[in-house]
Amino acid sequence: MDPRIEVIDKRLKDVKRIIAVAGGKGGIGKSSVASTLALILSKMGHKVGLFDLDFSGPSSHIILGIKDYEFPKEDKGIVPSEYYGIKFLSIISFSEENPSPLRGIDISNAVIELLAITQWGSLDYLIIDMPPGIGDATLDIIRIIKRAEFIVITTPSKLSIQTVKKSLQLLLELKVPIIGVIENMLDRSVYPNSPFVVLRRTGKSRKFTKSLSIKEQVKAFNIPFLGEIYFDKDFEDSIGNVNKLYNTSFAQSLKRIVLKILQNYPTK
Amino acid sequence: MHEWALADAVITTTLKVAENEGLKEISEIIVKIGELQTIDTEIFNFALKEVMQPQKKLLENAKIKIKSEKAILKCKVCKHEWLFKNAVKNLSEDETESLHFIPETAHVYLRCPKCNSPDFEIIQGRGIWIDSISGER
Ligand SMILES: [Zn+2]
């Protein structure tokens, strides 16, 4: 019997909501959404934690500009350090800039270990930056943190949608609560400047049906479509600077989505 | 000290088992700890006592046996096997500290002593688990 698994519920008992930000593939802005989501909720006055469980490519610390990561304090477990009001924990505190060549079983073990020993204290939201895809770590987190509600990120790319559909199917089968899907990195030059995209033909080129089709595909699963975020060329430049980040159109779009989520699912 | 969190995990699990099995008194708990966990047994014992304190009735006469399992690593590339306790000698204090928090960081700081590959598996000596709980109904 692994006593670590038994104690995880207890460690998370004062956390009101656990939101897992997931995506089928890497490079679709999952970590950007997770980090900015934590920042937005914190700015709204909520008590927020951010847990980067993307061990193969931890990047939340880069997006939020956290450089002085150190060992967390120890007090009846480990206590995450706070940055910009966000309690933050990532494998980066332990591995620094070194690569962590972990196989599935190791990732599972490390995830269980961290969940068992971390004292998050009382939080309104714990945001989890999930590993990409549906590997061991994702399945473990689903199994172990039954309360985790998922936000799934996709881009308009066909490859991204295909993998996201697989993720959604799995989440539904496992009866995991899904808050909804966000479509990230839409191209403004292709789609008009309105969230209600109208189908258009430009010259004799093809129909741009991508945006609508994602919305439709998501709805076909009976899963809420939370909204779209346009590709923001200023985002790259804001990485590592939370003030800049918070003022990007990326963050503003995400904020509208957050408000919508909170309206539909208020914190109990 | 994160030994406390693990001691708390052991006792929380024991309480759950006692409730499910209808145990009125626990006589013995056998806990196995992998060497890779780099637990300070003295601190762990101390933490156990503290966590057990509120459960006087149930755990008053409970003996806790802690068994250590040595950690063996095996290279995926050249199949070489080696002992963690020999490898860990060469680590810095910070690296050892990382292992103490997340034993999997072994993959970050250790390499196969034969072929230098970072791709090795931990064949035993990882984690903490409860081997057995004995008590009376
Ligand atoms: Zn080797």
- Reading the block at residue A246, the tokens are 């918070």
What whole-number percentage of chain A has pLDDT above 70?
Answer: 89
CA distance B14 to chain A (A): 8
For residue A193, pLDDT over 50 is answered with no
Here the tokens at position A27 are: 């490079």
Instruction: Answer with the residue of higher pLDDT: B123 or B56.
Output: B123
Q: CB-CB: which of B98, B126, B130 is closest to A94?
A: B98
Whether B10 has its CB under 8 Å from any CB of chain A: the answer is yes
**Mean pLDDT in residue range B41-57:** 90
* Residues of B in Cβ contact (< 8 Å) with A106: 104, 107, 122
Cβ B128–A107 below 8 Å, yes or no?
A: no
Measured in angstroms, the CA of A137 and the nearest CA of chain B are apart by: 14
**Do A100 and B8 lie within an 8 Å CB cutoff?**
no
**DSSP for A146-186, written as a single string:** TTPEEEEEE-SSHHHHHHHHHHHHHHHHTT--EEEEEEEEE
Query: Is 80 exceeded by the pLDDT of residue A4?
Result: yes
Give the number of A-B residue pairs with CB atoms closer than 8 Å. 105
Q: Of B122 and A203, which is predicted with more confidence?
A: B122
B16 with A6: Cβ contact below 8 A = yes
pLDDT band at residue B94 under the 50/70/90 scheme? confident
Contacts of A113 in chain B (CB under 8 A): 101-104
CB contact under 8 A, B5 and A71: no
Q: Mark A17-52 as b/e (b = at least 16 C-beta within 10 Å).
A: bbbbbbbbbeebbbbbbbbbbbbbbbbeebbbbbbb
Cβ contact B102–A78 (<8 Å): no
Task: Give the strands of the sheet with A149-154, arranged side by side.
Answer: A81-83, A86-90, A48-52, A123-129, A15-23, A149-154, A178-186, A225-230
Question: Do B2 and A74 count as a contact with CB atoms less than 8 A apart?
Answer: yes
The residue ranking higher by pLDDT, A225 or A199, is A225
The rounded distance, in Å, linking the Cα atoms of A100 and B105 is: 7
Nearest to A183 by CA among A131, A231, A141: A231
Per-residue DSSP letters for A233-266?
Answer: TTHHHHTT-HHHHHTSHHHHHHHHHHHHHHHHS-
Three-state secondary structure call for residue A123: strand
pLDDT at A211 over 70: no
Report pLDDT for A189: 64
pTM for this prediction: 0.87
CA of A34 relative to ligand 1 center, distance in Å: 38
Quick check: B58 and B18 in contact, CB under 8 A?
yes
Q: Above 80 in pLDDT, residue A204?
A: no
| Cβ-contact A93, B98 below 8 angstroms | no
Residue B125, number of CB atoms within 10 A of its CB? 21
Question: What residue of A is the nearest CA neighbor of B11?
Answer: A3
Whether the complex's predicted ipTM surpasses the cut of 0.90: no
Give yes or no for residue B76 having a pLDDT over 90.
yes
pLDDT digits (tens, 9 = 90+) for A119-153: 999 999 999 999 888 888 888 889 999 899 999 99
Identify all chain B residues contacting A11, using CB atoms and an 8 Å cutoff. 5
| Chain A residues touching B130 at Cβ < 8 A | 1-3
Under an 8 A CB cutoff, do A106 and B10 touch? no
- B81 CA distance to ligand 1 centroid (A)? 8
CA distance B54 to chain A (A): 16
Distance in angstroms (rounded) separating the CA atoms of residues B48 and B29: 11
What average pLDDT does the structure give for chain B?
A: 91
Using CA coordinates, name the residue in chain B closest to A107: B104
pLDDT at B62: 92
Minimal-distance CA residue of chain A relative to B16: A6
Among candidate residues A66, A1, A2, A22, the one with its CA nearest the CA of residue A170: A22
In this structure, are strands A78-79 and A178-186 parallel, antiparallel, or unpaired?
unpaired
